[in-house]
Structure 1
Amino acid sequence: MIRLACVAIGYVFGLFQTGYIYGELKGTDIRQHGSGNAGATNALRTLGWKAGLITLLGDCFKCVFAVLLVRALFAGRYPDEHMGVLLGMYAALGVILGHNFPFYLKFKGGKGIAATAGLYLSLDPVMTLVAVVLFGGAVGATRYVSLGSILVSIWLPVGTILFGQQGKWGLSQGHLYELYAITVFLCLMAIFRHRKNIGRLLSGTESKLGQKAK
């Protein structure tokens, strides 16, 4: 039940659609422009760098806050002091689900990459650094934000499993399997959400960073 509570709390945090709210304050539904989603990249292309930055920070830190909250509420109930890592992952799962599929917007939200950045920040500094290098390197070399986002999504289960098998998270093997399963699910969901971007990357028609929304 605690795991479900963590997901539910995360989902509530995920409902704070920073890009959509910012756009509405400016008289624009950003989901009606550009890529059609409510994430930071579309906010950047539709409303400019300030909107993109605010959306990125808002969507990132709503995940950080959700993770911190569930750890404070529930981690102390377990004899294993490392359970906060797993409970935080459940909260992050809820945040990304709420971000991607907000019920009050007819389940049309973002793609969850900025929220995943918040998951990295709350999980481990080394994994965060690798994610930043992957994202920055890919975008810097190609100007394809979607490519950087996909690489960051793939690194989540890869890094979590690599570090987990080395004893990084301090969890029992059974709890590690739970942790791994969530990260694999988040990775697959992110790739699915980027399926159109992948098609455009393969065909050479993907929009690059700096191009205005059509």
Structure 2
Amino acid sequence: MIKYVVIGMVIGYIFGCCQTGYFVGKLNRIDIRDYGSGNSGTTNTLRVLGKKAALFTFLGDALKGVFTVLIARFWLLPHVSGINPVAFLLLAGFGTVLGHNFPIIMKFKGGKGIATTGGVFFAVDPRMALICLAVFIAVTAASRYVSLGSICMVTALPFILYFFYGYQPVVLAVGIIYAVMAIWQHRANIGRLIHGNENKLGQKVK
């Protein structure tokens, strides 16, 4: 069982290392990490390069999570026993988030993993992804802070997992790991939110 968990996470990590925002930036003759917040995720791409570039970045980052879960579900899961199937798929997907956040081929400087997390949860159970999206949209629309919407979305993940799958300790633990990772990646944003100088949605950065 452990062997297949490791294989799934390694496959996920390899997918995660493909940084959509970086490639979109290069098509626009820049390194996206040299601008704005310095990461290669959707929000920074939106602020630096605009909506079209951000859309491509979001889709690419989300699809990494989808592809990982599909591979884990149809190729690895039939050989696995002794672990909750949902936990197994989420662990494989978490490898993708790790690859996205800390890509070895880019000196571990990646994004924050929100779109990739959304792709993972969509592939595991679209119902969960719809609730995540609703939380993100509601909070972001009310506050105009993408970071706050992202933080609230990931904070809701363990509760969403509990709602759909009940008290499954391993599943809930993996959900908490996703939330902790995303909140850690947003630690600078949290500091700016506290001090009132976080960039709002639609605000351009240099």
Same fold (TM over 0.5): yes
Partner of 1:109: 110
Contact kept, 8 Å, 1:161 with 1:180, in 2: the verdict is yes
Q: CA deviation at 1:116?
A: 0.8
Q: CA deviation at 1:149?
A: 0.3
Code of the aligned partner of 2:195 = S
SS of aligned partner of 1:108: coil
Contact kept, 8 Å, 1:135 with 1:151, in 2: the verdict is yes
Per-residue CA deviation, residues 80-129 of structure 1 (Å, 9 max, x unaligned), is: 8x954222111111000000000011100000000011022112233222
Per-residue CA deviation, residues 134-185 of structure 1 (Å, 9 max, x unaligned), is: 111111111100010001111112211333226xxxxxxxxx3322222211
Q: Does 1:189 align with 2:181?
A: yes
Code of the aligned partner of 1:207 = N
Q: CA deviation at 1:28?
A: 0.5
**Structure 1: 4+ residue segments shifted above 6 A:** none
- Between the aligned partners of 2:68 and 2:127, the Cα distance in structure 1 is 21
Contact kept, 8 Å, 1:75 with 1:83, in 2: the verdict is no
Partner of 2:156: 155
Code of the aligned partner of 1:112 = G
Partner of 1:61: 63
SS of aligned partner of 1:149: helix
In structure 2, runs of 5+ residues without a counterpart are none
TM-score when normalising by structure 2:
0.94
Tell me how large the CA RMSD over aligned residues is: 1.6
In structure 1, runs of 5+ residues without a counterpart are 167-175
- Between the aligned partners of 1:31 and 1:79, the Cα distance in structure 2 is 41
Contact kept, 8 Å, 2:84 with 2:170, in 1: the verdict is no
* Cα separation, partners in 2 of 1:120 and 1:79, compared to 1, 3 Å: closer
TM-score when normalising by structure 1:
0.90
Equivalenced residues, count: 204
Percent identity for Structure 1 against Structure 2: 46
- Between the aligned partners of 1:4 and 1:31, the Cα distance in structure 2 is 30
* Cα separation, partners in 2 of 1:108 and 1:78, compared to 1, 3 Å: closer
Q: Does 1:97 align with 2:98?
A: yes
